[in-house]
Structures are given as structure tokens and as C-alpha cells.
Amino acid sequence: MINLPKTSRFIVEFDSTLDLFRKTVKTANIALWASGANIFKENHTFLTLQLFCTVSYIIATMAIIFYNLYLFHDDFIRCCFMLTIFFIAIQGFTKVYTLFRYKIGILAMVARCETIMMKYNYPKVNEIFEKWMLITWYLFVLLAVTFCTAGVLAAIYPIIVYLITGTKFLHFGYQLPWLQWDGRYGYLCNFVFCCIATFLYALPLSATVCIYLLFVLIVLAQYDMLEVFIEELDESIVSNDNGRNAKLIKSQIKRIAENYIEICDFVKAYNNTYQLVIFVEVGCLIGESTICLYANATDIFFPGILIIFTCAFQIFLPCVLGTILIIAGDNFYDNLCKIHWNLLSIPDQHSFILLLISSKTSEVITIQMNVLHLETFVAIYKSIYSYFTLLMSME
């Protein structure tokens, strides 16, 4: 570990940037423990009671929703609510599958991040990684607090309704079979079952979002690090009197090229790991948003309003991260163009031009052959509006 004095920033203390990175991963791992997907634990195995219970719970929830959709097919608002929960269950199952299927790749990406932080130990680079790791930590805390608060509100919502109106209300519209849901024991069983659902959804969701957010922000930190390296290279070129910096310049060009290749490989690994989960998540969020918009256009559906805003945030986050990554890649190319490369030796010019050509099209976040950026966000909401108007026209 890098030996630095203990630093305190708001709600976190850390000895080094690497320590803060490990603290963030460890905190996310604790949040994943309840679902059995805490893959960052040493000697972790998926053959755990938590994972068995989580998968069984998701499958049971889907089966119960199908049963209730058949039972209450005449209750439109109730069916809309149950369908949104069905889409949420699909997201949860996909996230667990991704952690299971790509565990080795995710752990390799974490190890690669740690290697990068340990490789370049000097003030400018440390400041860059500290800035981005603090941003990651604060976003993680914000996401965890937001999702947990929403989970608690969802859990106590039936209690609030009962105290105000005296009417018993089910959390998510569905009820357990073979039980009288409004009886004492039946309602208690339904209440506990739905509270477990909010708990299993809120914590792991915030943790999984934090992990892929962490990976993207590490890439952005690497682009900032490359900016420092480019400035150092330009200074060496300008001060290269009589070729005294020739060896240094060669090593600096090589360092920039190696780190850029590292970024490209990292983004490719990120796409291979998270492409499926982002694709399924976006598809489910489109379904949730369309159903809730239609439900609110037909009748007031207060939980649906909360779901609409939550869906918008979940769609917006990967799109804005993709946009920032594209901008970082463009800035890297622009900074390379500003270097006094015409003062380089002929062999160094050849190496630099190859680097310049390769950086013209940097790696970006993709979802099924489509680049993920803010234009994608707009296109997604255009499709949601199209589906919504189609449903409205069928009345």
C-alpha cells in the first residue's frame, strides 16, 4: 500500500487512493452479501444459502405474479403494478447471473484497477485517482441511501395507507396463493414476503450499480492520467536540445501508448461483462416506464409515478457515463494533436502518428451494437412514448 498520511473527506477516511478503492469495493461486497453474490470475498463460492434463497425467491415471485395476473386480470391498475415488479425481478435475476457468469472477468478488472493505482505513485497521478475515487464513493453513498430510502418507504407504505384510510393494502399488488390475504396471518405473511423483496432489491441494486460506475470512473481517471503524461511529453519535446531527451521521449511515447491500449482493453472487457445486463435492464425499464405512463394516463397510480422517475434515472446513468467516456476519448485525441510532434525525430514521429491514428476512434460503451450515450437516452424515450401512444390508441 502507498504510504500516505491518513486523509479524511467528509464521511470516509483512507490512507491512500488504493485504500479508498478497496474500501469502496468492500462496502459494495457487504451490500451484496444478503443475495449471496458477494464475489469480492476471498474464497467466495456461489454454493451458499443466501444465493439459493435469492434465486428461489426471484423464481417464486415470478410464479406468484403470473398466478395473480390470471386471478386479477380484470383489475387493470393492479396488473400494471404486478408487471412492473415482474420486470424488476427479471433485472435482479440478470444481475445475479452476470456476477455468476463473469465473476473471473470482474475480479480481473478489479485487480487491473489496483495495479494501475500502484504502478504510478507520484503526486499528480495520486491526485487524479483520489478525485475520481472520492466521486465514486460519494455517488455510491448517494445511491445506497436513495435506494434504501425508497425500499423503506415501499415497505412501510401499506402501514401508512392503513393508518390514514383504515384499508389494508398490498405492497406490490400481488398476494400469496392459498392464504386469505386480508386475514391476520395471511396479511402478515404477504407483508413479510414483500418486505424481503424490497430488502433484496435495494442493497444489491445499489452495489451492482456502484461496481459498474466504479469501472467507468477508473477509465476516466486513466484518461486524466494520460493528459498529465502528454503534458510531460510535450515539455520533454520542447526542451530536447541536441537530443538530450531522446531516450526519455521514446519511453514517454511508449508509456502513453501502453496506457491507451490498457484503456481500450479495459473498456472491451467492460462491454463483454455488462452488455447483457445493461441490455436486459434497459428493455425492462422501457416496459416499466410504458406501463406506468399508461396506468397514470388511465387512472392515478402513485407508486407508478415513483417508478417512472426511478426508471429515468437508471436509464440516464449509463447513458451519461457513456457520453462522458466519449468526450474523454475525444479530449485525449485533441491533446495529442496539440503536441509539438513536428520536433520529434523521424522514428519517433512514425510511432507518434500510429498512436494518433489509433486514438482517432477510441473504445466506447456499447449495448447490442449501439453506442451508449445521451442520444441513446433520447431514442429510448422516443420508443417509450411510441409504445405509450400505441396503447392509448387501442382504447
Return mean pLDDT, the chain: 83
117 Cβ contact partners less than 8 Å away, ≥ 6 residues apart: 2, 17, 18, 21, 129
Instruction: From 311, 314, 286, select the one nearest 391 (Cα to Cα).
Output: 286
Residue 253 is predicted with a pLDDT of 92
Looking at the chain, the whole-number percentage of residues with pLDDT higher than 90 is 15
The pLDDT, as a whole number, for residue 311 is 86
The 10 Å Cβ neighbour count of residue 79 is: 19
pTM of the full structure: 0.85
pLDDT score of 4: 40
Using one digit for the tens of pLDDT, what is the confidence trace for 139-167?
Answer: 888 887 877 787 787 778 788 878 888 77
pLDDT tens figures, 179-225: 887 788 888 888 888 888 777 777 777 788 888 888 888 999 999 99
CA distance 168 to 159: 8
The predicted pLDDT at position 395 comes to 62
Q: Supply the pLDDT for residue 10.
A: 47
Q: How far apart are CA 174 and CA 71, in angstroms?
A: 10
Convert the pLDDT of each residue in 283-341 to its tens digit.
Answer: 899 998 998 888 888 776 667 777 888 888 888 888 898 999 999 999 999 999 999 88
At residue 108, does pLDDT exceed 60? yes
Say what the alpha-carbon torsion angle 192, 198, 204, 209 is, to the nearest 10 degrees.
180
Q: Is it the case that residue 54 has pLDDT exceeding 70?
A: yes
Give pLDDT tens digits for 6-44.
Answer: 454 545 567 778 888 888 888 888 888 877 778 888 777
**DSSP state letter for 173:** S
Selection from 186, 197, 187, 188 nearest residue 155 by Cα: 197
Confidence class for position 3, pLDDT limits 50, 70, 90? very low
